[in-house]
Chains A and B, each alone.
Chain A
Amino acid sequence: MQWETVIGLEIHAQLATKSKIFSGASTAYGAEPNTQACAVDLGLPGVLPVLNGEAVRMAVKFGLAIGAEIAPRSVFARKNYFYPDLPKGYQISQYELPVVGRGHVDIDLEDGSTKEIGVTRAHLEEDAGKSLHEDFHGMTGIDLNRAGTPLLEIVSEPDMRSAAEAVAYARKIHALVRYLEICDGNMQEGSFRCDANVSVRPRGQEAFGTRAELKNLNSFRFLERAINLEVERQIDIIESGGEVVQETRLYDADRNETRSMRTKEEANDYRYFPDPDLLPLEIGHAFIGEVMKELPELPDAKRLRFEKDYALNHRDALALTASRELADYYEAAVTASGDEPRLTANWVTGELAAALNRDALDISASPVCADMLGGLIKRIADQTISGKIAKQVFEAMWRGEGDADAIIEAKGLKQITDSGAIEKIVEEIVAANPAQVEQYRSGKEKIFGFFVGQVMKATKGKANPQQVNELLKKRLSS
Chain B
Amino acid sequence: MHTKNISELAAGLRAGEYSSVELTRHFLERIRRLDGGLNSFISVCEDAALAMARAADERLQRGGAGPLTGIPIAHKDIFCTQGLKTSCGSRMLDNFIAPYDATVVERLKRAGAVTLGKTNMDEFAMGSSNETSFYGPVRNPWDGDAVPGGSSGGSAAAVAARLTPAATGTDTGGSIRQPAALCGVTGLKPTYGRVSRYGMIAFASSLDQGGPMTASAADAALVLQAMAGFDERDSTSAEQPVPDYGAELEHDLAGLRIGLPREYFGEGLDAAVAESVEEAVGEYRRLGAEVVDISLPNTHLAVPAYYVVAPAECSSNLARFDGVRYGHRCEDPKNLEDLYKRSRAGGFGDEVKRRILIGTYALSAGYYDAYYLKAQRIRHLISDDFKHAFDRVDVIMGPTTPGTAFRIGERTDDPVSMYLSDIYTIAANLAGLPGISIPVAPVDGKPVGLQIIGNYFAEARLLNVAHKYQQVTDWHTKAPEGYL
Contacts and interface: CB of A to CB of B under 8 A. Distances in A.
Interface of A: 39, 42-51, 78, 80, 82, 84, 87-90, 140, 142, 269, 271-273, 276-279
Given A51-B235, A271-B360, A276 B325 contact: no
A39 B316 contact: no
Given A48-B235, A50-B235, A277-B235, A43 B320 contact: yes
A345 B233 CA distance: 52
B96 interface: yes
Contacts of B96: 45
Contacts of A273: 312, 316, 363, 368, 372
A46 B363 contact: no
Contacts of A271: 315-316, 360, 363-365, 368
Interface in B73-102: 79-80, 86, 88, 93, 96, 98-100, 102
Contact of B206 (A47, A50, A276): A276
Contacts of A80: 315-316, 319, 363
B324 A142 contact: yes
Given A89-B322, A90-B319, A277-B236, A44 B99 contact: yes
Given A269-B365, A276-B205, A45 B100 contact: no
30 contacts: A39-B99, A43-B325, A45-B88, A45-B98, A46-B80, A46-B98, A46-B197, A47-B199, A48-B234, A48-B236, A49-B235, A80-B363, A82-B322, A84-B322, A87-B324, A89-B318, A89-B320, A140-B336, A142-B324, A269-B365, A271-B364, A271-B368, A273-B312, A273-B363, A276-B205, A276-B236, A277-B205, A277-B235, A277-B236, A278-B236
Given A271-B364, A279-B236, A87 B320 contact: yes
B233 A42 contact: no
A277 B80 CA distance: 18
A188 B263 CA distance: 64
Nearest to A23: B233
Nearest to B88: A45
Contact of A45 (B312, B315, B320): B320
Identify which of B199, B204, B235, B313 gathers the most chain A CB atoms within 10 Å of its CB: B235
Contacts of A277: 202, 205, 235-236
A85 B315 CA distance: 19
Contacts of A82: 319, 322, 340
B95 to A, nearest CB: 12
B198 A47 contact: yes
B232 interface: yes
A84 B363 contact: no
A380 B119 CA distance: 85
B326 interface: yes
Contacts of A49: 235
B322 A39 contact: no
The A interface is mostly helix, strand or loop, or mixed, namely: loop
Nearest to B78: A46
A45 B86 contact: yes
Given A39-B99, A45-B88, A45-B96, A50 B233 contact: yes
A46 B313 contact: no
Contacts of B86: 45-46
Nearest to B124: A45
Interface of B: 79-80, 86, 88, 93, 96, 98-100, 102, 197-202, 204-206, 232-236, 312-313, 315-316, 318-322, 324-326, 336, 340, 360, 363-365, 368, 372
A42 to B, nearest CB: 6
Identify which of A46, A89, A277, A278 gathers the most chain B CB atoms within 10 Å of its CB: A46
B402 to A, nearest CB: 28
Contacts of B372: 273
Given A45-B96, A51-B235, 12 more contacts: A45-B86, A46-B201, A48-B198, A50-B232, A88-B320, A89-B318, A89-B322, A140-B336, A271-B363, A271-B365, A273-B363, A273-B368
Given A39-B99, A273-B368, A45 B316 contact: no
B93 A45 contact: yes
A82 B315 CA distance: 12
Nearest to B196: A48
A64 to B, nearest CB: 25
A87 B316 CA distance: 12
A43 B316 CA distance: 12
Contacts of A278: 235-236
B234 A39 contact: no
B94 to A, nearest CB: 13
Nearest to A22: B235
B347 to A, nearest CB: 12
A89 B316 contact: yes
A273 B206 CA distance: 12
6 tightest Cβ-Cβ pairs between the two chains A and B: A89-B319, A276-B206, A271-B363, A276-B205, A46-B199, A45-B201
A383 to B, nearest CB: 66
B447 to A, nearest CB: 31
Given A89-B319, A90-B319, A48 B80 contact: no
Contact of A88 (B102, B201, B319): B319
Contacts of A84: 322, 324, 336
Nearest to B363: A271
Contacts of A90: 316, 319
A94 to B, nearest CB: 15
B98 to A, nearest CB: 7
A237 B327 CA distance: 49
A272 B360 CA distance: 11
A269 B340 CA distance: 18
A269 B322 contact: no
Nearest to B336: A84
A46 B102 contact: yes
A48 B104 CA distance: 14
Identify which of B96, B318, B320, B321 gathers the most chain A CB atoms within 10 Å of its CB: B320
A51 B233 CA distance: 10
A43 B197 CA distance: 15
A262 to B, nearest CB: 15
Contacts of B236: 48, 276-279
